[in-house]
A and B are shown apart, each in its own frame.
Chain A
Amino acid sequence: MTTIEAVSAYLPPTVVPIEEIGERLAMDPKQVRTFRRFYGLSEVRYEPEGDLAQLMLNAAGKLTSLIGRESQVRYVLQARTLQTVAPYPENPLHEVRQALGLEHAVTFAVTQHACASGLLAVHLAGELLAADGDPDALALVFAGEKAFTPTAQLIPNTTFMGEGSAAVLVGTGSGHDRLLGYATRTYGQFNAGLRMTAERAAEFETIYQDGLAEVVLAAVQRAGVDLADVHLILPHNVNRLSWVRLCKQLGYPVDRVLLDNIAVTGHCFCADSFINYQTALELERLAPGDRYLMVAVGLGATFSAMVFEH
Chain B
Amino acid sequence: MTREPTKTGNHPRKETDMASNAEGPADLRAWLTGCVAQYLRRPETEIDPTVRLADYGLDSVYALALCGDIETHLDMRLSETLVWDYPTVDELAAHLEELVAAQQPAGAR
A157 with B81: CB separation less than 8 A: no
User: How close is A238's CB to chain B, nearest CB, in angstroms?
Assistant: 9
Asked if B12 is at the interface (CB within 8 A of a chain A CB), the reply is: no
Out of B2, B71, B80, which one reaches A157, CB within 8 Å? B2
Within the assembled complex, what's the spacing in Å between the Cα atoms of A157 and B67? 15
Give Cα A193–Cα B2 distance, bound, in whole angstroms: 8
Q: Decide: B2 and A156 in contact? CB cutoff 8 A.
A: yes
What chain B residues lie within 8 Å of A193 (beta carbons)?
Answer: 2
Is the pair A248, B2 in contact by a Cβ cutoff of 8 Å? no
Is A30 touching B1 in the complex (CB atoms < 8 A)? Answer: no
Chain A 202-226, CB within 8 Å of chain B: the 1/0 string?
1011101000000000000000000
Given known A-B contacts A38-B67, A38-B80, A245-B81, A31 and B9 have beta carbons under 8 A apart = yes
Distance between Cα atoms of A25 and B5 in the complex (Å): 10
Known: A202-B57, A241-B80. A34 touches B64 (CB 8 A): yes
Determine how close the nearest CB of chain B comes to the CB of A68; give it in whole angstroms: 45
The answer on a CB contact under 8 Å between A157 and B68 is no
User: Which single residue of chain A is at the shortest CB-CB distance from B69?
Assistant: A30
**Are B84 and A245 touching (Cβ within 8 A)?**
yes
- Given the contacts A34-B68, A241-B81, A205 and B5 also touching, CB distance less than 8 Å: no
Name the interface size band of chain A: 20 to 34
B3 within 8 A of A: yes
For the complex, give the distance between the alpha carbons of A240 and B4 in Å.
21
- Separation of A302 and B68 alpha carbons in the complex (Å): 30
Q: Do residues B81 and A33 form an inter-chain contact, with CB atoms below 8 A?
A: no
Q: Check A281 for interface membership: any CB of B closer than 8 A.
A: no
B residues 7-29 in Cβ contact with A at 8 Å: 7-9, 11, 15
| Interchain CB contact (< 8 A) of B6 among A28, A34, A158 | A28
Given contacts A33-B68, A240-B80, A241-B80, contact A201 B9 (CB under 8 A): no
Could you tell me the distance in whole angstroms from the C-beta of A153 to the nearest C-beta in chain B?
Answer: 11
Chain B interface size range: 20 to 34
B81 and A208 form a contact (CB under 8 A): no
B residues near A155, Cβ cutoff 8 Å: 1-2
Q: Which of B41-70 contact A (CB under 8 A)?
A: 54, 57, 59-61, 64-65, 67-68
CB within 8 Å for A201 and B2 given contacts A30-B15, A34-B68, A245-B84 = yes
State whether the Cβ of A37 lies closer than 8 Å to any Cβ in chain B: yes
A-chain residues with CB within 8 Å of residue B65 when the two chains form the complex: 30-31, 34
Given A30-B15, A34-B64, A245-B84, decide whether A156 and B9 contact each other with a Cβ distance below 8 A. Answer: no
Indicate whether A67 reaches chain B with its CB closer than 8 angstroms.
Answer: no
Tell whether A27 is near chain B: CB-to-CB under 8 Å. Answer: yes
Given A28-B9, A157-B60, A202-B3, 10 further pairs, Cβ under 8 A: A33-B68, A34-B8, A34-B64, A156-B3, A158-B1, A194-B2, A205-B1, A241-B60, A241-B81, A244-B80
State the A residues within 8 Å of B (CB): 25, 27-28, 30-31, 33-34, 37-38, 154-158, 193-196, 198, 201-202, 204-206, 208, 240-241, 244-245, 248, 299
Top 8 A-B pairs ranked by shortest CB distance?
A: A28-B9, A156-B5, A201-B2, A157-B61, A38-B80, A38-B64, A196-B2, A34-B64
